[in-house]
Amino acid sequence: MKFLRDTWLVFSRQMQLMLRQPVWLIVGVVQPLFYLLLFAPLLKPALGVQTNAEAYKLFVPGLLVLLAMFGSLFTGFGLIAELRAGVIERSRVTPVSRLALLVGRSLRDVVSLLFQAALIVVIAVGFGLSVGLLDVLAAFALMAIISLMLSAFSYAISLKLRSEDALAPLLNTISQPLLLTAGILLPLTFAPTWLKRVADWNPFSWATDGVRALFAGDPGADSVWQAAVVVGGLTLITVVWASRAFAKGVR
Interface with other proteins (CB under 8 A): 2, 6, 9, 13, 16-17, 20-21, 82, 85-87, 89-96, 251
Which lies closer to other proteins via its Cβ, residue 8 or residue 190? Answer: 8
- What is the nearest approach in angstroms of other proteins to the Cβ of residue 85? 6
CB of 26 to other proteins, least distance (A): 17
Least distance between other proteins and beta carbon 95 (Å) = 5
Nearest CB to other proteins, comparing residues 94 and 193 = 94
Cα dihedral across residues 131, 119, 41, 63: positive or negative: negative
Give 239: exposed, middle or buried? Use CB within 10 Å, 0-12, 13-18, 19+. Answer: buried
Contacts for 33-40: CB closer than 8 Å, 24+ residues apart: 33/120, 33/123, 35/59, 35/63, 36/60, 36/63, 36/120, 36/123, 36/124, 36/127, 39/185
Nearer to other proteins, 5 or 197 (CB): 5
Least distance between other proteins and beta carbon 147 (Å)? 23
The contacts found for 188-196 with CB under 8 angstroms, 24 or more apart, are none
CA distance 245 to 147: 18
Toward other proteins, which CB reaches closer, 140 or 155? 155
Shorter beta-carbon distance to other proteins: residue 38 or 93: 93
| Phi–psi pair at 183, nearest 5 degrees | 65, 35
Q: 1-6: long-range contacts at Cβ-Cβ below 8 A with a sequence spacing of 24 or more?
A: 2/97, 3/97, 3/99, 3/100, 6/96, 6/97, 6/100, 6/101, 6/104
Nearer to other proteins, 97 or 151 (CB): 97
